[in-house]
Chain A
Amino acid sequence: DGGITQSPKYLFRKEGQNVTLSCEQNLNHDAMYWYRQDPGQGLRLIYYSQIVNDFQKGDIAEGYSVSREKKESFPLTVTSAQKNPTAFYLCASSTLGKGGSSEQYFGPGTRLTVT
């Protein structure tokens, strides 16, 4: 069963704690992405990675960190420096087609609530 898995589905944390969200894909995709979604808003890019051991900041990287030690895994850490961490977090992956863009496929998301 191929696809993107995110865990956990729901996550609750106290303010001031770091938390790591898991994202795994078995699609053999080169690129992986993390988005944040807030109610009534579009998806905003946090970080992305095109290749193992390399990643780039997206539009809202402050307060977040990532790693890409394996092609299939791209965990996201929400640090205590993130001012408003409560949100729905989405992981995506895609191939990187030559000469053009490729479809992104999304995981089911993790809803993080910080109190």
Chain B
Amino acid sequence: QQQVKQSPQSLIVQKGGISIINCAYENTAFDYFPWYQQFPGKGPALLIAIRPDVSEKKEGRFTISFNKSAKQFSLHIMDSQPGDSATYFCAASIKGSSNTGKLIFGQGTTLQVKP
């Protein structure tokens, strides 16, 4: 119930196309859903995050869609560019009185955007 399942494991998209990465969870106590972008040999960087009180959040070319009833959320990268080639992780956090901030990560998706 603590898991976050991410798909696909790898994705190849043409430049200018839309990249879509999906995540699913079971625990309805999750209240925070961030996406991280990681380049090879670097630490992950926070890309965009959403809370369950909204169904969509957009920042530039990056959009999170959130479906609370289906317990799914996805990252859409519009007009994908070669510079977007990286590994993307979804994550979820459990709300609790102690508020540890612990994140549960998906397995990651390696995105390659072809020129």
Contact = CB atoms under 8 A, between A and B. Distances in A.
B100 A48 contact: yes
Interface of A: 4, 6, 31, 33, 40-45, 48, 50, 56, 58, 90, 92, 94, 96-109, 111
Interface size class of B (residues with CB under 8 A): 20 to 34
Nearest to A35: B105
A108 B42 contact: yes
A97 to B, nearest CB: 7
Contact of B32 (A33, A58, A100): A100
Contacts of A111: 41
A42 B106 contact: yes
Contacts of A56: 100
A91 to B, nearest CB: 8
Contacts of B6: 42
B100 A103 contact: no
